[in-house]
Chains A and B, each alone.
Chain A
Amino acid sequence: MVATLLRLRFRVLGNQLARSPWQLVGFLLGAVYGVLLLAGIVAGLVALGFGDIRLAGTVIVGAGSLVTLGWALIPLVAFGVDTTLDPDRLVVFPMSTSKMMVALTLAAVCGIPGIVTSLAALATIATWAHWPAAIVAWLVSTPVAVLTAVVASRTVATIAAGVGSGRRFREVAGILVFIPLILAGPIIAGLATGFTVNADTLTEMVPLLGWTPLGAAWAVPADAAAGDLAAAAAKLLIALATLGALWVLWRAALARSLARPRLASRAAVRAGSIGWFGRVPTGATGAVFARALTYWTRDPRYLRQLIAVPLVPVLLWFYARDGDPLVALAFSAPIIAFIIGIVVYADISYDGTAFGTELATGARGRGDRLGRILAAAAVAVPLVLLAAVIPFAFAGDWRQLPGVLGMALGILFTCYGVCAVTSAQLVVPVAGSGDNPFKRVPGTTFLQGMAFFGIWLVALALSAPAIVVGLIAYFTQNAALSWIAFALGIVLGTAVLVAGILIGGRMLDRTGPVLLARLKAMKNA
């Protein structure tokens, strides 16, 4: 059974690659990247073997702990876990939970990240080969280290999926939970700067990681090499206990999620209360506006796109806290505008095949573009305005506000204009409506990633005049220039916006059926 599932996993990957040459290209580029990364790691490990034993231990334990942490956190952030073998789909087969867990673990080890991690972990022998005792320890601890990382990943994924199964809960908590996680970097960095990081403290700190579940397995050969067999044994015990605890936790979470698949909550509103639909003028623009705005407030996938709004000021404040935070915060509005403006670059993807409803009515592309942009703007413009005004209110000096506003609104409008065109051409695989918004969706190609990057550049280039003038005005404290930046942002942004709606609308009239056909080809749309 386990072998069958492993074969299935590779068959799915093979079929995906066979479907389109571009997926194969993306896969090969990823593979080349993995091989190069691996080569670098092996070279480093070989070099470490000729160095000081303490340095070798520090580097391997530190890097190993980061790898384990990464595996545990990855299911929570955008990439998510591989859903090729979803426990929900395996539940119909007569298979015990333990067997399923073994299969899922092995499948994860045999994925690309799993293979790279395993090979890198095995490659530590290049370092440890210089110490006979470490070789023995390596034999035992390496599988434990890799399995801990993989099992931690699956445990977190299962728990996260379970937590996210109540809809209302998922919509709000599911998003908020990720804010501290994304902020983990600065928080850790903040603690680290508290200890005034330098090479010495690092070598003091990292060995401590070896006593934690994160680094224990990685630290066993280091202690063995140093001849401290008692410490090695103790750490091996910690590592095994960690793995055991994770396994038990995973089993409990899995059993619970399989026994109680999905809560069916039935939130109903009073008949006759149709929200925005009752307040918009009739026609395609009004209909699309009301529909899109309802989704912006009701669909976790849209809420997720707003996650940047609280994060940007916090991060800016954090990185500038030793200088002048208010200067940095003044730029949160343009940055927020860019992030929440550009995310709609393929927003028809979020419609899924429901886009067919709109297509079947013959609604004009121009109305669709305008409706979508108005809905996105109804959410984004107030947030951007707030982000722009608040820092100046704290500073009490309003002279540079026009420039910042010009930059922010200019960027926002330009992004909308650019996205009005690109989203008439592009659909990308996204989590389906009702899925966990952080679920990884197979099928995103390398080419799409490049396209997204290109769209960034175009949007930035088109809003460059306001950005450049605004920055000069701000840093020279020139009030007149600030007003010029304001005018530039509004005028050029509006021009790009109008052009985008006209061009994108005309395009969508033609490309609508093509987009629907592509959405239909994506299985979860």
Chain B
Amino acid sequence: MPPAPPAAPAAFAAAAAATNGGVAAEVAALELRGLHKRFGQKVAVADISLRVPTGSFYGLVGPNGAGKTTTLSMATGLLAPDAGQAVVHGVDVWRDPVTAKAMVGNLADGVKLFDRLTGEQLVTYNGLLFGLSHDEIAQRTADLLSLMDMTDAAGTMVVDYSAGMTKKIALACALVHAPRLLVLDEPFESVDPVSAANIEDILAGYVAGGGTVIVSSHSMDLVQRMCDHVAIVAAGRLLVAGTVDDVRAGQSLQDRFVELVGGRRHTEGPEWLRRS
């Protein structure tokens, strides 16, 4: 299924240039232009345009079912959009997937891993798919496993890992080819606090070294602490995007999020659920 051409490319380009205050000359690490996806009757993603500047740590937040995973799947070439474009460092993901995907490290949510492989085999498998040399793969696998604190589990089949360990090995797989852009869908889900702190360090170092990270999360505290940019989506639409300070406008990100998305109820729950 070839991606449909964007409905109005000129308008999107203009919009992108406008939101970036005229610095569009610099190529964004990831640029989404009018992404649109519908499943049957349900519109999962409606016209999302987003510009992730190179070197930024970008948070993508939204309530459950907001279309975060769908958006990131379309941005990484896993799900063909009905309309719109995803461009990684100037390369259209759907026109030239091989070049684009080689620059992306992807931690997808809702896909399994080849869990009959050991952790070490799985990371090696990913390295081989990207065509790295065996020496490079062996070195990087060892580094990544020790970074993730998983050296002991290297020879254990992924099927026997806990949920958090599975997340960590998936992250190692996403990092092994030293991508320029990391797309992480819910990377901290089920990960224990120590590992989460370690991963945060790795990601911060990665961004400091010139890499770009886009991360979806439910944890506003984490996004406010780690990210420099944030986009809030709900019901498939982009509500607001920009630097974290601009978006939260003096409030905490949590409050700003609830204010934008709505649906907060102040209640102590139903009467019958109270014991005393």
Contact = CB atoms under 8 A, between A and B. Distances in A.
Interface of A: 264-275, 277-278, 280, 282-284, 286-288, 290-291, 294-295, 298-299, 351-364, 433-434, 509-511, 513-514, 516-517, 520, 525
Given A277-B128, A361-B126, A354 B114 contact: yes
Given A268-B155, A282-B128, A283-B128, A513 B116 contact: no
Contact of B121 (A277, A513, A516): A277
Contacts of B157: 267-268
Contacts of B153: 268
B155 A513 contact: no
Interface string B134-166: 100100000000000001011111011000000
Interface string B56-73: 000000000000000000
Interface in B96-133: 97-102, 104, 106, 108, 110-118, 120-121, 124-133
B217 interface: no
Q: 8 closest pairs, A vs B, by CB?
A: A362-B101, A287-B128, A356-B111, A271-B154, A353-B111, A269-B155, A361-B129, A360-B106
24 contacts: A283-B128, A287-B126, A291-B117, A291-B125, A294-B117, A295-B116, A351-B114, A353-B110, A353-B112, A354-B114, A356-B111, A357-B173, A359-B78, A360-B76, A360-B77, A360-B101, A360-B104, A360-B108, A361-B102, A362-B97, A433-B115, A510-B1, A511-B1, A514-B80
Nearest to A279: B134
A287 B134 contact: no
Contacts of A271: 120, 151, 154-155
A514 B2 CA distance: 11
Contacts of A511: 1
Interface residues of B, number: 49
Contacts of B120: 271-272, 274
Given A271-B155, A356-B111, A359-B78, A294 B131 contact: no
A506 to B, nearest CB: 13
A264 B80 contact: no
A511 B153 CA distance: 35
Contacts of A266: 156, 160
Given A267-B157, A509-B97, 18 more contacts: A266-B160, A268-B156, A269-B118, A271-B120, A274-B118, A282-B131, A282-B134, A284-B129, A290-B128, A291-B117, A353-B112, A354-B114, A357-B125, A362-B98, A362-B100, A362-B101, A513-B78, A514-B80
A504 to B, nearest CB: 17
B77 A513 contact: yes
A325 B228 CA distance: 77
B79 interface: yes
Nearest to A362: B101
A280 B128 CA distance: 9
A270 B155 contact: yes
Contacts of A516: 78-79, 111
A364 B156 contact: no
A356 B98 CA distance: 14
A273 B156 CA distance: 11
Nearest to A297: B116
B1 A298 contact: no
B102 A362 contact: yes
